[in-house]
Structure 1
Amino acid sequence: MTPVAVHDATSSPTNPEHLQVALQPGLQPVVVTLTGRDRPGVTAAFFRVLSAHGVQLLDVEQSQFRGYLSLAAYVGVEADRLERMREGLTDTLKGHGQTVTVERVEGVPQSRSRSTHVIVVLGAPVNANDVSAIGQTLANYGANIDRIRGIADYPITGLELAVTVADAEPGGGKPLRKALAALTTELGVDIAIERAGLLRRSKRLVCFDCDSTLITGEVIEMLAAHAGKEAEVAEVTERAMRGELDFEESLRERVAALAGLDASVIDAVAADIELTPGARTTIRTLRKMGYRTAVVSGGFIQVLEDLADDLELDYVRANTLEIVDGKLTGRVIGQVVDRAAKAEFLREFAEDSGLQMYQTVAVGDGANDIDMLSAAGLGIAFNAKPALREVADTSVNHPFLDEVLHILGIPRSEIDDSDLEDGTFHRVPLTPAATTGAVSL
C-alpha cells in the first residue's frame, strides 16, 4: 500500500522535497494493515475503530483472495491517539481472527505507483520458476513489479503483472522486450508486454487471419484433398507461409490444381471447417464488449461466408474462386488478398468503424500476415511461423484463441460471468490432448 500525495502546479513530480501530503494539520501519517480469513463484519469493525479515533482517510485498498482478506489504509491520526487506536484495532479485530499492524510513515511518502507497462503470462501450467525467472529478468533491467493478479484458470493459467520500467520512453523498453521474448522459448510460457494506461484499453477492432488462426485447417488444402492434390498444394502452401514464395504466385499455382472440381465441394469443405479452440468464446466476448470483429483470409469467400455469418463478424474479406458451369476453373477473380491487401483491409475496417489504427488488433500465423500485424496497434502472432514472430508485438504458442482476450486484459472470471448470465457458458473438460489443440470450444 502506498499513500496519496499531491504537488502544486509549479512543483516537479520527480522532486520529492516539493511533495506535500494531503494531511490535515497536526495529524501523523500512518499505514494500517489487516489480514486474516474473510468474514462478514470485518471491514465494518475496522473502520468503526478508525472512526472512533477521528482518523482521516487518504488511501484504502482491500482485496479478497481464496477466502483470505487483505485490507490496508493510509491514514492521518493525532499522535496522542495513535497507541489507543492500535490497541482498539488489535482488541476488536482479534475476535474476527484478524492480524493488525500499524506503522508510522517517516519522511516524505511515495505516491501510489503508476505502472508503465503490463505483462501477461500465459501457460499450461505456469510454475513458480516461471514467475521467478520473469521477476529476475525484470530486476536485471531495472523494472519493478507493482501488482500481480490472476486473470485465467481455463483453459490455461494466466497472470497479469503491472510493472514500472526504468526507461518508460517510447522504445526505451526494447532490451527488456527482447529478454522476455527469449524467456518465452526457454520457459514454454507466453509472455506479452504492453504499455499501461488508456491506450491499452482503447482497442476496439480485432482482425483475424482465417486459416490456422480462426480455424484449425487450411481451406485450400481441404479443397485439394477432393482433387487428390494434397501433397502438391501443401508443399506450396508451406513455402509461401515461410515467406519463400510470393503469395499471389503461390495462390494461383495452388488454385490451378483445383481446376475441374465440382463446385459442390465448396459446401462440403465449409461443413468440415473446425474453429480453433476458444474462437467462438473470443468472438462472442469481443462483440459483447462493443468491439468490431473481422476476418481477412487468403482463402476463399465462398467457403467462409456462412462461417462469418454464424459468428456475426462485422467484416470479411477473402479471395473469390471462379466457377463456370458448376465447375472450378482453377482461377481466382478480382483482387487477390495478399500480404499488402490484408493491411489495407485492416485500415479500411478501422476507417469504416471510426477508429484510429492504434485501436486495432491483428492476429495471424504466417508471413502473409506481416504487413497486417505491423500496421495494427497490437500485432499477435498465433502459433506462428518465425518470419511473423519476429515482427509481432507478442506471440501466442498455445492452441487456444481466447488467449487474445487475456492479452487484452479481459479476465476469465468476467467472461464466465457474462456467459452464465446469457446461457452460453460451456467448458470442455481438458485432457493432455487439449494442449495440442484436439478440443473444440
Structure 2
Amino acid sequence: MNTAELETLTVWQRADAVCFDVDSTVIKEEGIDELASFCGVGEQVKEWTKKAMGGSIPFRTALSERLKMCKPTSKQVQRLVAERPSQLTPGIQELVQQLHRKGTSVYLVSGGFRQIISPVAAKLRIPPENLFVNNLLFNEAGEYVGFDENEPTSETGGKKKVMETLKKKFGYKYLVMVGDGATDMEACPPADAFIGFGGNRVRQTVREKAKLFVTDFSTLRHALGPEE
C-alpha cells in the first residue's frame, strides 16, 4: 500500500462524517437509467449517463436532457419504486451500521432523485435530513414539469458545495466522500478524503486518479478495525 492510500485510510478511520454517493455505489443500479428503462427510453438515456459520469458534460445539462427523454409521471415513479426496488450493494448495510455504532454521521449525496432514494435511506436508517439529492417536480395531474434547480446536486460541483455546507455547519474535521463517479471525486476538497468505489461500475478516470480505490465495502469495514 502506498503513502497516498495509507493517508486516505487514516482519514477514513478517523472520519466523523461519511458521505456516500448512491447510484452504482450504495445501490447496484443507476437510478435514472432504471427510470428511463421503465419509461421505454433506456438505451438513449444510458448514453447520456455515460457522458455525465465521465465528466465531459455539465451535470445539469445531462440531467435535464435525460429527464426530457423520460418525462416520467408521478405514477410511473411510484410504480418503479414498488415494482423494481433499488438493490443495495453487498456490504453497504453492514458498513453503515458500523459507522452509526461508531457515532459517525452518514449522508447520502447524489444526483439521483429523492423519490427513488428515500426508500434506500430508510433501509439504511439514514434520516431524511441527511439526504442531499435531487427532487422531481410534477403538476397537479402528476405530469413531469422539471426538477428542483435549487438542489445543489443538480449542477456540476454541487457535491463540493454540500461538503462545504456540512463542514461549515457541523465543524467536521474528517469528512470522507465515497463514490464511483467524477462528480464524487470533485467533492475532495473540501472533503478531507475521497475513496473511489468500483464494486458495481469502474470509471476509468476515478480508478486512475483516486488516492484510494476499492471494489467492495468489506475493505472499508475491516479498515475501521474491530468493534468494541
1:305 to 112, 118, 139: 118
Please identify which structure carries the higher strand content. 1
Q: Does 1:368 align with 2:183?
A: yes
8 Å contact kept, 2:17–2:175 = yes
Pairwise CA distance, 1:263? 1.0
The match for 1:385 is 203
The match for 1:233 is 45
The match for 2:162 is 345
Q: Percent identity?
A: 26
Cα separation, partners in 2 of 1:216 and 1:330, compared to 1, 3 Å? farther
Pairwise CA distance, 1:333? 1.9
8 Å contact kept, 1:209–1:365 = yes
For 1:348, give the aligned amino acid: T
Find the aligned partners of 2:116 and 2:8 in 1 and give their Cα distance: 38
1:264 to 72, 75, 78: 75
The match for 1:405 is 221
The 5-angstrom pairing of residues 158-169 of structure 1 reads: none
For 2:110, give the aligned amino acid: S
Find the aligned partners of 1:343 and 1:195 in 2 and give their Cα distance: 18
Deviations 1:125-162 (A, max 9, x none): xxxxxxxxxxxxx8xxxxxxxxxxxxxxxxxxxxxxxx
For 1:369, give the aligned amino acid: D
Find the aligned partners of 1:341 and 1:381 in 2 and give their Cα distance: 18
Please identify which structure carries the higher helix content. 2
For 1:378, give the aligned amino acid: A
Deviations 1:32-63 (A, max 9, x none): xxxxxxxxxxxxxxxxxxxxxxxxxxxxxxxx
CA RMSD of aligned residues (A): 2.3
The 5-angstrom pairing of residues 154-233 of structure 1 reads: 192-194=5-7, 201-233=13-45
Deviations 1:340-374 (A, max 9, x none): 11111122223333313xx0111011112122134
Find the aligned partners of 1:221 and 1:252 in 2 and give their Cα distance: 14
Q: SS of the residue aligned with 2:36?
A: helix
Cα separation, partners in 2 of 1:211 and 1:328, compared to 1, 3 Å? farther
1:249 to 27, 39, 61: 61
Residue correspondences, number:
219
For 1:204, give the aligned amino acid: D
Which structure exhibits the higher relative contact order, with contacts defined as CA atoms closer than 8 Å and separated by 6 or more residues?
2
Cα separation, partners in 2 of 1:232 and 1:295, compared to 1, 3 Å? same
8 Å contact kept, 1:360–1:378 = yes
Find the aligned partners of 2:162 and 2:51 in 1 and give their Cα distance: 24
Cα separation, partners in 2 of 1:200 and 1:368, compared to 1, 3 Å? closer
Cα separation, partners in 2 of 1:382 and 1:328, compared to 1, 3 Å? farther
Cα separation, partners in 2 of 1:306 and 1:312, compared to 1, 3 Å? same
Pairwise CA distance, 1:323? 0.8
For 1:266, give the aligned amino acid: V
Structure having the higher Rg: 1
Cα separation, partners in 2 of 1:375 and 1:404, compared to 1, 3 Å? farther
The match for 1:284 is 97
The match for 1:331 is 146
8 Å contact kept, 1:374–1:392 = no
Find the aligned partners of 2:115 and 2:96 in 1 and give their Cα distance: 21
Unaligned runs of 5+ in 1: 1-118, 120-137, 139-172, 178-191, 419-441
8 Å contact kept, 1:339–1:372 = no
Find the aligned partners of 2:142 and 2:179 in 1 and give their Cα distance: 31
Pairwise CA distance, 1:196? 8.6
State the TM-score, normalizing by the size of structure 1.
Answer: 0.46
8 Å contact kept, 1:323–1:329 = yes
Q: SS of the residue aligned with 2:19?
A: strand
8 Å contact kept, 1:270–1:304 = no
8 Å contact kept, 1:256–1:330 = no
Cα separation, partners in 2 of 1:234 and 1:308, compared to 1, 3 Å? same
Unaligned runs of 5+ in 2: none
For 2:185, give the aligned amino acid: I
Pairwise CA distance, 1:332? 1.1
Q: SS of the residue aligned with 2:70?
A: coil
